[in-house]
Amino acid sequence: MYNTIALRSLDFSYGKNGRVSLSLFSDFSLSISEGEVLAILGPSGCGKTTLLNLISGLSRPDGGSITVRGIDPVENRSTMGQAYAFFSPPLLPNLTLLENTELPLELLRVPQSRGRALDMLKQLGLAGFEDCLPFELSGGMKARAGFAAALATEPEVLLLDEPHGALDLITRDSVDRAIRKAIAESREKNPMTVVLVTHSIEEACRIADRCVVLSGGRPSQIVGEVVISRPLSQKSNNYRRTKVNIESAPGLNSPRPTRSEVIETDSEQFAEREIRRLLTKAVSLGKVVVVAPDESTVALARPALHLWARNGREVSLISSVDEWPEAGAGSVVYVGIPHDSDAQRYGKLANDSCYAVLSKIQNGHDLPGGWKPVASLEEGLIQAHGLARPKKTGRRGQWEISHAGFGVAWVVALLGIWAAATRFLNIQHFLLPPPEDVLCYALAQWRHLAIDVMQTSSEAALGLLLAVCFAFVTGVLVDRVRLADRAIWPVLIASQAIPLLAIAPLVHLWLPGLYGIVAMTALLTFFPLAVAFRAGLQDIPREEKMMFAVYTQNWVDTFFKLKLPGSLPVALAGLRTAAPIAVIAGILSELTGTDRGLGKNFLLAVKKLEPELLYSSLVLSIILGLSFYAAAVLVGRLLQHPQQIEKGSREVQ
């Protein structure tokens, strides 16, 4: 039996470009045999999910090597060799439950994918919900759907990130049965290797052959292992506990080898008890104790502790060794020079490292064995726990575009105000004629006005369609070529500062008649469309991108099955914004480029002092803008589910 997964001398850190780098793994080694079910446990933030991402090839290590089935993880993804069930199931909102389950099989070009997806949904108790959209499913059903999609591919390596996290007790049993059945069936053909990340000790003992507990310190290390012999005997209490060195156990990594334990047992009860003990030890490694022996050092330490505690790490402040927390700690930072007796006691209590904060006067002073000098409390906390300063996050305002019905209501209200103003304020006729006079004029000249409305609407529609095409091409180019984002967007932003009336005559000289008006309309509406489409492409959820990265490296599949549908909510919100702008752009372009249209009516009304023509054209322009907006809303409802439209409306602008 060979090692299906091998991590050798692995180095990985976050925040490489920042001031503080968080070293998550350093010289980390772990081997997983063929057909083995390995459970990884540990405190939150110890790197369990990061290990899965490294094994799947979604993250790349800074140093060391990773092999999956003897090859690089990225190459293994393209050979249909692995599947990944994420903690947050990446279900595409525009696909039904069955289509989401079938999607990984389609990406892998698996024949008869529909039948395999249906069988897996039935096995996990989701029969009858095949046509439901994700928003119609509960959290537990979504979790089972994500697991079904991964298990349907029948992989040789299965990565599970807390598959029981959102499940009730009864549903957990069905998922456990599905996992065990898949493992048993795979062992008859090609043994399936399973790596399971979980916080549940019971879950790990039910499924896993071996449990590894990671520490909460930085860098993360293996505290111990529990090997469970199969088949399990509930009544047996036989076990063997050994202390091993890293040289004699390639699967272990620890700077203090004598503290890494391997326990073998065939009893689930004993395995659970030992894992709880190792987890308690692992949690203590993630804690830091700051010792401030007097009032002056307490005043110095307290502001720094308030800042670092915002990261969610436990940082305790004590003044003497008698106040040491019962749960223990991984590191101690002493403000000043500890006495020899205290230094020995702190060294025995701390599971990891000891640091002393020395002032400039104390710099160079000899410290007890095992203690490391640091220049400040901040540096001591960084080295003790790899903490990074908390980033300040702001809340963005969310705006919703009103529906077309609200626009109609506003028009009716304005007409009422208009009629009341002309009746009671005695406004001169040439400044503001009564609405009934304008209506009579429009009815009398309806043929000419209808021709003008058709002219303007066709120009605006053609210009908007052309802008949509250019925005799509630009979005594809920016998404495909990274350099295009930096090269194109500054030019687009600069183009918006050019006044329309300044370039309109030039455009009409180059493109006379209808072509010039369409070109001007496209120029004005292109920018909001391109910005919205670009924002939609960048707004694809991270889990969905990772899922596609696991199952395919085909850019066309990723774009047309993930990015284009995923960007529609925001892109359609941009279309709803650009639709009324297209009408305005068409009218403004008509001022210099044609002898027909609503734009020409405005010029004639001012020249001939015909207020009825002016206001009738103005009302028709408003109605035309609302009609374009309503058409954009209708297009959105035809292309996607109403829930996605609501999401896009909140994110526009």
Other CB atoms within 10 A of residue 325 CB: 13
Q: Say whether pLDDT at 467 is over 80.
A: yes
Contact 92, 566 (CB under 8 A): yes
What are the DSSP calls for 76-109, one per residue? HHTTT-EEEE-SS----TTS-HHHHHHHHHHHTT
Residue 538 has pLDDT above 80, yes or no: yes
When divided into structural domains, the chain yields a total of 2
Query: H or E segment at 213?
Result: strand 210-214
Q: Is residue 616 part of a domain?
A: yes
- Tell me, yes or no, whether 505 and 549 share the same domain: yes
Predicted confidence at residue 650, as pLDDT, reads 41
The model's pLDDT over 127-154, given as tens digits with 9 standing for 90+, comes to: 778 888 888 787 777 888 888 888 888 8
Residue 118's SS3 state is helix
Are residues 366 and 418 part of one domain?
no
DSSP letter (8 states) at residue 47: S
| 366/347 Cα distance (integer angstroms) | 16
Question: In this predicted structure, what is the pLDDT of residue 403?
Answer: 52
Residue 396 counted as domain residue: no
DSSP code per residue over 1-43:
--EEEEEEEEEEEE-TTSSS-EEEEEEEEEEEETT-EEEEE-S
Residue 531 in any domain: the answer is yes
Q: Which pLDDT belongs to residue 652?
A: 40
Could you tell me if 226 and 265 are in contact, meaning their C-beta atoms sit under 8 angstroms apart? yes
H-helix or E-strand spanning residue 228: strand 222-228
Whether residues 645 and 498 share a domain: the answer is: yes
Q: At 534, is the secondary structure helix, strand, or coil?
A: helix
pLDDT of residue 464: 92
Nearest by Cα to 319 from 355, 347, 293, 345:
293
**Same domain, residue pair 518 and 622:** yes
579 vs 247: CA distance, rounded Å: 69
Q: Are residues 631 and 554 part of one domain? A: yes
Q: Residue 241 in contact with residue 261, Cβ under 8 Å?
A: yes
Final residue of a structural domain among 342, 357, 385: 385
Confidence class of residue 124 from pLDDT cuts 50, 70 and 90?
A: confident
- pTM for this one? 0.66
- At residue 115, the pLDDT reads 87
**pLDDT: which is higher, 148 or 237:** 148
CA distance 34 to 413: 74
Give strand ranges (E) for 329-434: 329-335, 350-357, 371-374
Q: What is the pLDDT of residues 345-372, one digit of tens each?
A: 887 777 667 888 887 767 777 787 778 8
**Which among 358, 385, 412 is the end of a domain?**
385
Instruction: Note the pLDDT of residue 283.
Output: 65
**pLDDT band of 469, cuts 50, 70, 90:** very high
Model pLDDT, residue 465: 93
Q: Which one has a higher pLDDT value, 419 or 563?
A: 563
pLDDT, residue 468, reads: 92
Average pLDDT of the residues in 252-278? 61
What is the percent of the chain where pLDDT is above 90? 5
Are residue 459 and residue 346 in the same domain, yes or no?
no
Assigned domain for 91 exists:
no
Q: What angle do CA 325, 331, 336 make, to 5 degrees?
A: 95
pLDDT at residue number 400: 39
Burial of 141 (0-12, 13-18, 19+ CB in 10 A): buried
* Structure confidence by residue, pLDDT tens digits, 584-594: 888 888 877 66
In this predicted structure, what is the pLDDT of residue 38? 92
- CATH number of the domain encompassing residue 323: 3.40.50
DSSP for 173-189 reads: HHHHHHHHHHHHHHHHS
One domain, residues 625 and 508:
yes
* Tokens of residue 210, six digits: 């071996």
More confident residue, 440 or 495: 440
How far apart are the C-alpha atoms of 342 and 291, rounded to whole Å?
11
For the stretch 65-88, pLDDT in tens is 898 888 888 776 666 678 888 888
User: Average pLDDT, stretch 16-35?
Assistant: 77
Most confident of the ranges 108-122, 269-283, 319-333, 413-427: 108-122
CA 135 to chain centre: 17
Q: Which domain holds residue 316?
A: 288-385
Query: Sign (positive/negative) of CA torsion 319, 322, 323, 324?
Result: positive
> Residue 46 pLDDT more than 70?
yes
Is it the case that residue 389 has pLDDT exceeding 50? no
The pLDDT value given to residue 241: 41
The mean pLDDT of 470-477, rounded to a whole number, is 86
Of 132-146, 378-392, 393-407, 498-512, the one with minimum mean pLDDT is: 393-407
Indicate which CATH number applies to the domain containing 545. Answer: 1.10.3720.10
Q: Who wins on pLDDT, 104 or 230? A: 104
Last residue of a domain, one of 356, 385, 414: 385
Residues 443 and 571 in one domain: yes
Output the pLDDT for position 236. 35
* pLDDT score at 539: 83
Pairwise pLDDT comparison (112 vs 5), residue with the higher score:
5
539's CB contacts (< 8 A; 6+ apart) are 566, 567, 570, 651
8-state DSSP, 71? B
Rg (CA), the chain: 34
- Residue type at position 331: S
618: in domain:
yes
**470 and 506 both lie in a single domain:** yes
| CA separation for the pair 412, 625 (Å, rounded) | 15
How far is 33 from 2, CA to CA, in rounded Å?
6
381 and 408 both lie in a single domain: no
Alpha-helical runs (H) found in 371-445: 377-385, 404-424, 435-444
Q: What percent of the chain has pLDDT over 70?
A: 78
Residue 503 confidence (pLDDT)? 72
pLDDT of residue 186: 66
Q: For residue 445, is pLDDT > 80? A: yes
**Alpha carbons 524 and 500: distance in angstroms, whole number:** 8
Q: Both 473 and 618 in a single domain?
A: yes
Rounded Cα distance between 536 and 420, Å, is 45
The reply to whether 297 falls in a domain is: yes
pLDDT on residue 347: 79
For 174-232, write each residue's pLDDT tens digit. Answer: 677 777 777 777 666 677 888 999 888 888 888 888 999 988 777 888 888 888 876 53
Instruction: Give the mean pLDDT of 616-632.
Output: 88
Cβ distance 623 to 412 under 8 Å?
no
| Per-residue pLDDT at 274 | 76
Statement: residue 392 has pLDDT above 70: no
Rounded to 10 degrees, the C-alpha dihedral 12/13/16/22 comes to -170
- Of 114 and 249, more confident: 114
pLDDT at 651: 41
Kindly tell me if the per-residue pLDDT of 116 is higher than 50: yes
Pick the residue with more confidence: 309 or 277? 277
Supply the DSSP symbol for 559: I
Whether 562 and 647 map to the same domain: the answer is yes
- Per the model's pLDDT, the better-predicted residue between 106 and 411 turns out to be 106
User: Greater confidence, 49 or 422?
Assistant: 49
Instruction: Quote the mean pLDDT of the chain.
Output: 77
Domain annotation covers residue 272: no
List Cα–Cα distances, 621 to 326, 399, 605, in angstroms. 75, 25, 15
Reference 220, options 380, 328, 330, 309; nearest CA is 330
What is the rounded (10 degree) CA torsion for 79, 81, 86, 90? 40
Classify residue 610: in a domain, yes or no: yes
Residue 466 pLDDT exceeds 90: yes
